[in-house]
């Protein structure tokens, strides 16, 4: 990864600017540039909420991966909860393909991850209306 920069403002909000170069399974190089402005530290409920949005069809798997990758690819990520960090790593790769037509992870795995990481009833996850992550 190259070109990552993190700035923390007086309000405690984080600005992340990242440029990454990835090599696909087929040897092709891809450059990804992603800016996430005024990002607050993600919580487990934020991750679960995003996952539920994908399952409902309200969010594309690529958007989920980009959101999680904004934290994972930062030079000095501000994620203190180990469970959140591990889940962000999983989610940052949710758009990976194992062939040109199929994804490495399917939506059933996403459901399994929700069950594994969320300790309460799934209906207790707060509504996905927080605009800071969209």
Burial grade of 30 (CB within 10 A; 0-12, 13-18, 19 or more): exposed
pLDDT for position 5: 53
Q: Does position 78 have pLDDT exceeding 60, yes or no?
A: yes
Token pair recorded at residue 49? 């909420």
Q: Does position 84 have pLDDT exceeding 60, yes or no?
A: yes
Token pair recorded at residue 60? 């594309």
pLDDT for position 65: 95
Handedness of CA 29, 35, 40, 43 (dihedral sign): negative
Average pLDDT along the chain: 74
Element of type H or E holding 17: strand 14-23
pLDDT in tens, 12-64: 445 544 445 555 555 555 555 455 444 578 889 899 999 999 999 999 999 99
Query: Quick one: average pLDDT of 84-89?
Result: 94
| Distance in angstroms (rounded) separating the CA atoms of residues 75 and 15 | 12
pLDDT for position 127: 53
Query: Quick one: average pLDDT of 93-107?
Result: 93
pLDDT for position 126: 56
| Distance in angstroms (rounded) separating the CA atoms of residues 83 and 90 | 11
pLDDT for position 76: 80
Q: If you ran DSSP here, which 8-state letter would residue 5 be given?
A: E
pLDDT for position 103: 93
Q: Does position 69 have pLDDT exceeding 90, yes or no?
A: yes
Q: Which of 2-6, 8-12, 52-56, 120-124 has the highest mean pLDDT?
A: 52-56
């Amino acid at each position: 990864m190259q070109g990552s920069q993190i700035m923390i403002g007086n309000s405690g909000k984080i600005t992340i600017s990242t440029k990454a170069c990835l090599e696909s399974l087929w040897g092709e190089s891809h450059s990804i540039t992603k800016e996430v402005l005024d990002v607050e530290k993600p919580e487990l409920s934020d991750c679960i909420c995003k996952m539920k949005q994908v399952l409902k069809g309200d969010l594309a798997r690529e958007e989920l991966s980009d959101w999680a990758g904004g934290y994972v690819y930062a030079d000095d990520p501000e994620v203190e909860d180990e469970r959140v960090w591990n889940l962000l790593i999983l989610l940052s790769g949710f758009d990976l393909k194992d062939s040109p037509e199929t994804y490495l992870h399917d939506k059933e795995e996403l459901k399994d991850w929700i069950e594994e990481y969320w300790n309460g009833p799934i209906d207790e996850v707060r509504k996905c209306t927080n605009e800071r992550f969209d």
